[in-house]
Amino acid sequence: TQLLEQSPQFLSIQEGENLTVYCNSSSVFSSLQWYRQEPGEGPVLLVTVVTGGEVKKLKRLTFQFGDARKDSSLHITAAQPGDTGLYLCAGVNTNAGKSTFGDGTTLTVKP
Amino acid sequence: ETGVTQSPTHLIKTRGQQVTLRCSSQSGHNTVSWYQQALGQGPQFIFQYYREEENGRGNFPPRFSGLQFPNYSSELNVNALELDDSALYLCASSPDRGHGYTFGSGTRLTVV
């Protein structure tokens, strides 16, 4: 069974601070995706990383895929209240037609 | 382009009943996946359909079944409902297997 562990589970910070959340697994994935989910809504795709060691930037968000394609991190610079939400990572095994989600990191950014 | 649409948005069923949830995938997307999300947890993969064929399945019993139609819309059927089936059911479509998913807003199922 492929498992993804996300840490920390909860994070509460002040506006302007930086933060990093982690997504770790013992399994290798074809790709890894990060999503943000708000209450009452479905997850919204932020990024897909495919190559080991890959780094992608999306404005203040930086995503990194581990060299062995087993883990990933999301770094947010100068967090804003609008960044508040549940951040989910999902490991994709394309051949098996399966995606495995972690339980997410709930981020609260206080003004 | 339209996104992923799920219906109904909310549903209350009695234990032992059967339920059908529906999903219209985003235009141009041939892959649909279904997930169950319990409160405080991440989505759990139920199964994936690719061009009308089941392409992968998670650890859910056979009473969870699905269909994908020629227009790539999809249904999730759950028989013999149990109290633990109460959850948010999410449908997600993608242009091909392995690509990023576009999620619908989900169907909130309550089993009493």
Q: Is B68 on the interface with A (CB under 8 A)?
A: no
Q: Sort strands B107-111 and B102-103 into parallel, antiparallel or unpaired.
A: unpaired
Q: Which residues pair with B77 in a beta bridge?
A: B20, B65
Q: Which residue of A has its CA nearest to B49?
A: A97
Whether residue A28 lies within 8 A of chain B, CB to CB, comes out as no
How many angstroms away from the CA of A49 is the closest CA of chain B? 10
For residue A94, name the pLDDT band (cuts at 50, 70, 90).
Answer: confident
How much is the pLDDT for B1? Answer: 55
**So what's the pLDDT on residue B96?**
81
Which residues on chain A are in Cβ contact (under 8 Å) with B105? 40-42
The answer to whether B60 faces chain A, any CB pair under 8 Å, is no
User: In a 10 Å sphere around its CB, with 0-12 CB exposed, 13-18 middle and 19+ buried, how is residue A24 labelled?
Assistant: middle
